[in-house]
Amino acid sequence: MNLKLNQILKKFFFDSSCSICKKEVEDDEIYICKKCREKIEKEKSLHVRKNIYYLFEYKNEIRKLIIDYKLNGRKELSCFISKIIEDEIIKIIRENSIDVVIPIPMSEERFLLRGFNQVELILDNIGINYKKAKRKKETIPMHKILEKDVRKINIKSVFQCDFSVNNKNILIVDDIVTTGTTMLEMIKSLEETGKPKNIYIFAISVAPTFYKKFL
Ligand SMILES: [Zn+2]
């Protein structure tokens, strides 16, 4: 088989379009073309507000990239995303003497659908150790919930941590923070588990709904 035919077949069987501009990528590029790669690198900047760190506003190129990575299951994009965040996240861990890194857990349904946890995969690529928090299962069937119980159930934490957090500096990691609800749930669970020293947040991107309200 000559090279040309090989390339034609490859293009036929694999969608090799760029996640961002949708143009065909070169053979040595995986799901992202050079131009878009450079754009993202240029747009990146580390923002710090209180205990929250983030690299991008969730819009334009980074939004397209994360959507393609997560929703279209383009797992290979994790290599590029890892490279973008690597230096900054390592610096944050070092400077804040982080003891425990916790990625936000996915729901079981989403995990089954996607087959991978997008944040864990990125941390694995960089070689960062982390502890897994669990998402609690809803034990009471919805139709059995009485009006008076609703509040009680809502204030119960969603996550569960089976490890010590006492006197530890903790870094919670997520790809996008939209409303901040999940982050608050995670913080609540940590505070229910023990007495952490400091809790920091690292998000690859933050949606305007969040930073306009909180940052
Ligand atoms: Zn592109």
- Tokens for 163, please give them: 């490890």
pLDDT tens for each residue of 157-183: 689 999 999 999 999 999 999 888 889
Question: What is the β-pairing status of strands 100-103 and 134-135?
Answer: unpaired
Give yes or no for a contact between 208 and 179, defined as CB atoms under 8 angstroms apart. Answer: no
How far, in Å, from the CA of 121 to the mean position of ligand 1?
A: 23
How far, in Å, from the CA of 145 to the mean position of ligand 1?
A: 49
- Tokens for 27, please give them: 């053979």
Task: Please choose, from the candidates 90, 92, 123, 102, the residue with its C-alpha nearest in 3D space to the C-alpha of residue 196.
Answer: 102
Q: List the chain pLDDT tens, one digit each, 215 residues.
A: 556 776 666 656 667 899 999 998 887 778 899 999 999 999 999 999 889 999 999 999 999 999 999 888 889 999 999 999 999 999 999 999 999 999 999 877 788 888 889 999 999 999 999 999 998 865 555 556 565 565 555 546 689 999 999 999 999 999 999 888 889 999 999 999 999 999 999 999 999 888 777 76
The pLDDT value recorded for residue 1 is 52
List C-alpha distances in Å: 63 to 58, 82, 125, 190, 206.
Answer: 5, 16, 21, 29, 10
List C-alpha distances in Å: 31 to 20, 34, 77, 81.
Answer: 9, 10, 7, 12
Structural domains for the chain: 45-214 (3.40.50.2020)
How far, in Å, from the CA of 83 to the mean position of ligand 1?
A: 17
Long-range contact pairs involving 39-46 (C-beta distance under 8 Å, separation at least 24): 40/65, 40/84, 41/84, 44/84, 46/88
The pLDDT value recorded for residue 175 is 95
How far, in Å, from the CA of 90 to the mean position of ligand 1?
A: 28
- Tokens for 58, please give them: 């969730």
How far, in Å, from the CA of 20 to the mean position of ligand 1?
A: 5
How far, in Å, from the CA of 52 to the mean position of ligand 1?
A: 30
The two counts, helices (H) then strands (E), for the chain are 9, 7
**DSSP E strands: which ranges in 97-145?**
100-103, 134-135
CB within 8 A of 108, min separation 6: which ones?
Answer: 135
pLDDT tens for each residue of 103-118: 999 877 788 888 889 9
How far, in Å, from the CA of 9 to the mean position of ligand 1?
A: 21
How far, in Å, from the CA of 77 to the mean position of ligand 1?
A: 13
Task: Please choose, from the candidates 120, 151, 156, the residue with its C-alpha nearest in 3D space to the C-alpha of residue 137.
Answer: 156
How far, in Å, from the CA of 42 to the mean position of ligand 1?
A: 14
Give yes or no for a contact between 172 and 202, defined as CB atoms under 8 angstroms apart. Answer: yes
The pLDDT value recorded for residue 155 is 47
**DSSP structure class, residue 133:** -
The pLDDT value recorded for residue 144 is 61
For residue 177, the surrounding DSSP H or E stretch is strand 169-177
Which conformational region is residue 22 in: left (phi greater than 0), alpha (psi within -120 to 50 degrees), or beta? left
How far, in Å, from the CA of 1 to the mean position of ligand 1?
A: 29
How far, in Å, from the CA of 32 to the mean position of ligand 1?
A: 5
